[in-house]
A and B are shown apart, each in its own frame.
Chain A
Amino acid sequence: MALLEVHDLHKAFAGRKVLDGVSFAAEAGEVLAIMGPSGTGKSTLLKIVLGALKPDQGRVVLDGDEITALSERELDQVRVKFGVLFQNVALLHSLTVGENVALPLIEHSPLDPSVIEIMVRMKLSQVGLTDFENFYPNQLSGGMQKRAGLARAIARDPKVVFFDEPTAGLDPVVGQAMVKLIRDFSRALKITAVVISHRVDLMLPVADRVVMLYNGKVVFSGLPADMAASEDPLVRQFVRGEIEGPIPVIPAPEQLKKALLGE
């Protein structure tokens, strides 16, 4: 049974359709990559799945709870089932790394502070930040901040962890290490990892399945190997990073003229 189900999501801002009938599912314990060029609705999709935004139409079901039908207070009961690693990491800068990791445990568990302290150390050691408990986020490098964010995301042993562009701003080596860490965590802890990314080179080797969005629609859903071998012009251009193709990179001369001169 799917742990996360997204059914026919629609969302528009000021008349512009950002999501146009998106549907997919994530099975328990798998790494699902949601990919696509910039501006295709990936971040909007994540905000709807997290319950931070209401869709115009459609449903999101997480572990049997329909997120899109819940009130803010009811949503909090579901939110404890998942963790999130944001693109900007979003560690609270007024707290130390240890306090950041401890925060969801302090808020939602009756554990004794001494037990929480042990759990924080354990989570930080899992992401290789054993000696950085008392550091503030701005004292860490970008890669270390991402790992601290991951430690916070898995602090309560969630069933699902959402990753929003986990390799953004990282150099190729650290980016590679980050996606490997995600895959290893998913395998070892049986966590469903939903990774939003546009890095085909990094994600295809580690993902179990891939969903590709373009213009708010799902244009591909399947295995990474099938995506790599796809002859669909959209998918092929995206996977190979080609400039020429149906995904416009630079506006055509006529469009540019119209935009500049209004002709």
Chain B
Amino acid sequence: MRRLLGYLGRRLIRFLEHLTSILYLCREIGYWLVVAPFQGKHWRRVEVTRMMDEVGAGSLPLVLIISVALGMIVVVLTTSQLRDLGATRYSAGLVTLALMRSLGPLFTGIVVAGRVGAAIAARFGTMKVSEEVLALESMAINPVSYLVVPVIVALVVMLPCLTLFAEAGGLLGSFVVGTLGMGIDPDLFRVQVTEHLDNFDILVGMVKSLTYALIVGVFCSYQGLTVEGGAENVGRATMVSVVFSIILVVVADAGLTVAFYL
């Protein structure tokens, strides 16, 4: 019992240490993102543009493939169930609600967490163990300003854009399979989608994607910049950052969905 309590106590202390460090990183990001530009220390435009290209253009094909496939899956499942009730006409509306309110932002967040989050953690981790981060500090270049801020800006700008593409891709996939494969009338599908498309849902999708952008950016940057040791620990940090950022994205989605729609 004593050993168990000791173990739990140590885990709690480590968790609080991580939490404090993440909060400190958030404070630094806030300073370099919001305050520093007013003091003449501007964001690095070249790095921001490069990261936006990597996050946005780099993730777009993957996001489209997954969202189109997701739309196809959802329309098949909902239509087959509603057919038993003789209510296939509501299928397109249900698909629209599911994609706009949750699945579109959620799957985009997961794709970006897996693809970009892993790249961020691996890049920063490698730079940390090869002393590149220390080199930046020794040149009086703040690593948060130089490395993390461009990542955060790129994610905050590009994730909502990717979410819009994912939602459109999902609707396209569901339209193709719903009308060609499940026998839904194309005009009825269009009317149902239009009826169920709501500005509030789009806004919620944007709020969700901004939240995921911050989760992925902060958590994966933290994991990368706190790597110690060698290549093995870089791999471990990459794995941890992907797994936990996906978990955090899903938990945040659950929380936001409950908060907005319950």
Instruction: List residues of A whose CB falls within 8 A of some B CB.
Output: 47, 50-52, 75-77, 79-80, 82-84, 86-88, 90-93, 103-104, 107-108, 152
Residue of A nearest to B136 (CB): A92
Q: Which of B132, B139, B141 has the most CB of A within 10 A?
A: B139
Instruction: List residues of B whose CB falls within 8 A of some A CB.
Output: 127, 130-132, 134-142
Interface of A is mostly: mixed
Which residues of chain A are near B140, meaning CB under 8 Å? 75-77, 79-80, 104, 107-108
Which among B130, B131, B138, B139 is the interface contact of A107 at CB below 8 angstroms? B139
Which residues of chain A are near B136, meaning CB under 8 Å? 92
Say whether, besides A50-B137, A52-B137, A76 and B142 are in contact (CB < 8 Å).
yes
Contact status B134-A86, CB under 8 Å: yes
Which residues of chain A are near B141, meaning CB under 8 Å? 103-104, 107
Contact status A52-B134, CB under 8 Å: yes
Contact status A84-B138, CB under 8 Å: yes
22 contacts between A and B (CB under 8 A): A47-B134, A50-B134, A76-B142, A77-B140, A79-B137, A79-B139, A80-B140, A82-B138, A86-B131, A86-B135, A88-B130, A88-B131, A90-B130, A90-B132, A91-B132, A91-B135, A92-B127, A92-B136, A93-B132, A104-B141, A108-B139, A108-B140
Contact status B131-A90, CB under 8 Å: yes
Residue of B nearest to A162 (CB): B138
- Cα A93 to Cα B131 in complex, Å, equals 11
- Cα A130 to Cα B127 in complex, Å, equals 26
Nearest-Cβ distance from residue B1 to partner chain A, whole angstroms: 27
Which residues of chain A are near B131, meaning CB under 8 Å? 86-88, 90
Which residues of chain B are near A87, meaning CB under 8 Å? 131
Residue of B nearest to A87 (CB): B131
- Cα A77 to Cα B136 in complex, Å, equals 14
Which residues of chain B are near A93, meaning CB under 8 Å? 130, 132
- Cα A212 to Cα B150 in complex, Å, equals 43
